Structure 1
Amino acid sequence: MKDKVASGVSIALLAALVAGTWWAADYAKRAVLEDPPRRMTHEIDSYVEQFVMVRSDEAGVPITRMEGDRLEHYPDDDSSEVDQFRAVSQRPERPTMTARSIHARMDEDGARVVMRGDVQLRRLPSPGRAELDIRSEQITLMPDEDVAFTDLPATVVNGTSRIEGRGMRYDNVSRELQVHNQTRVQIVPGGPRPAAPAARRPSNG
């Protein structure tokens, strides 16, 4: 009889201990406030003053340099906004090309850069090839592909020739310049002829 009473008491105490432990765990879980899910808004999570990014080729030789006075990163779309953007593309087998703008948006870790505000794109002169100067209010730069383009009005000065049109694409690999919807062409006497309209034939700028 005493053994049965002792066993019953032990079972009751064990049940009380299990119930108390479950209640304490449930109470603690309800008492602790959980952080709400993070809202992914277009807000700055980091910034860099005097930003510099250098890209190198497979041999470790620097080929592209991008910099600006300030870079602000946005985590929701992994983009960056840059003030006073500047870039230099310098590859041994291609003409050196520079770019600058008041603002720029960098996507895809710098693989795509949309330059905005007083944009200037220059292919520096080289033996047998005149300087190419392109200006617009917005130009998209693809540094890895060495290509730039815009759908907005652009002014192109190729040596002593000047072309104005809406829409432009320049490929620094093939040296092809395409100016769409040409509205004005000015050729200085004795200078080279300008690029032909892209709809008919691209020209090597």
Structure 2
Amino acid sequence: MATLAPPPSGSQAVRPRVGQSWLWRLQLLLSNYLPLLLMALLAAGTWWLVKNTPAPDGPMEPVPPRHVPDYRMEGFELQRFDAQGQLRFRIEGAEMRHYPDTDTIEIDQVRLSATGPDGSLTLATAKRAVGNGDGSELQLMGDVSVERYEAGKDGVLADQPRLRMDGEFLHAFLNRELLRSHLPTRLRYAGGDIQARSFEYNHLDGRLSFGGRSHARIAPRSPRP
């Protein structure tokens, strides 16, 4: 497993060796953008979906736990606004189900979007999403795609994403501030393309780890004038 530690800073900063330059560039980029992806996924996660679920009309008699949903929402779209009335998060899906025995929420054909204070946009789609009731974990499964678009000084979004992640699985942990996938994942960013057998990003210590055999294609830097 290859592990990238946070780049040194301050007086301890050193110039990377030539053979490590692409790793250095990748670490700098991902340390800036993966936390944003993590926070966007979790902030738009299940914890506030639970607050929008329908309440029962009256008291209900206790029943033996069964793994069957106690409510469904079809063709739904839920939005969250900030104090200034600006749209920050949106969750859409073909169907959402809540299972009381495990206190989990499942969403089919999920689409998440999160807009940052600077106008940047994070989009995530998957065939299925599963989250626990307290919103501390969110799993995206099947044709997972996460894109990060930057906004210019004029507030206009870029035509192409600055960073894109594609795979079949993505697991986000709120309390541990962790992004992980045990399945092959492709990371594409300006000037680079990495295909990893697995990866883990820990925001608390800034470490990015790749498992198994990974392949990277890095475009050479433009020569300085």
Counterpart check, 1:105 vs 2:105:
no
Match of 2:70, as an amino acid?
D
Match of 1:161, as an amino acid?
G
Q: Deviation at 1:41?
A: 1.0
Counterpart check, 1:135 vs 2:160:
no
* Matching residue of 1:67: 92
Q: Deviation at 1:107?
A: 1.9
* Matching residue of 2:9: none
Judging by fraction of residues, say which structure has more strand: 1
Q: Deviation at 1:38?
A: 1.2
Match of 1:189, as an amino acid?
P
User: Contact 2:182/2:199 (CA < 8 Å) preserved in 1?
Assistant: yes
Q: Flag structure 1 segments of 5+ consecutive residues without an equivalent.
A: 1-35, 192-205
Q: 171, 184, 193: which is aligned to 1:153?
A: 184
* Matching residue of 2:110: 85
Query: CA 1:47 to 1:37, structure 2 compared with 1: closer, same or farther past 3 Å?
Result: closer
Q: Kindly, what percent of the aligned residue pairs are identical?
A: 24
Match of 1:106, as an amino acid?
G
* Matching residue of 1:178: 208
Alignment TM-score, normalising by the size of structure 2? 0.56
Within 1, Cα distance between the matches of 2:177 and 2:63? 38
Match of 2:125, as an amino acid?
R
- In the TM superposition, what whole-angstrom CA distance separates every residue of 1:86-107 from its partner, at most 9, and x where no partner exists? 0001121473111000111122
Alignment TM-score, normalising by the size of structure 1? 0.61
**Which one has the largest radius of gyration?**
1
User: Contact 1:120/1:135 (CA < 8 Å) preserved in 2?
Assistant: yes
Within 1, Cα distance between the matches of 2:177 and 2:83? 16
Higher-RCO chain (CA-CA 8 Å, sequence separation at least 6): 2
Q: Deviation at 1:67?
A: 1.1
Q: Deviation at 1:59?
A: 4.8
Within 1, Cα distance between the matches of 2:189 and 2:202? 12
Which secondary structure does the structure 1 equivalent of 2:184 belong to?
strand
CA RMSD after TM alignment: 3.4
Alignment of 1:28-43 (within 5 A): 38-43=63-68
Q: Flag structure 2 segments of 5+ consecutive residues without an equivalent.
A: 1-60
Q: Deviation at 1:137?
A: 0.9
Query: CA 1:178 to 1:93, structure 2 compared with 1: closer, same or farther past 3 Å?
Result: farther
- In the TM superposition, what whole-angstrom CA distance separates every residue of 1:61-97 from its partner, at most 9, and x where no partner exists? 4311111011112111221111101000112147311
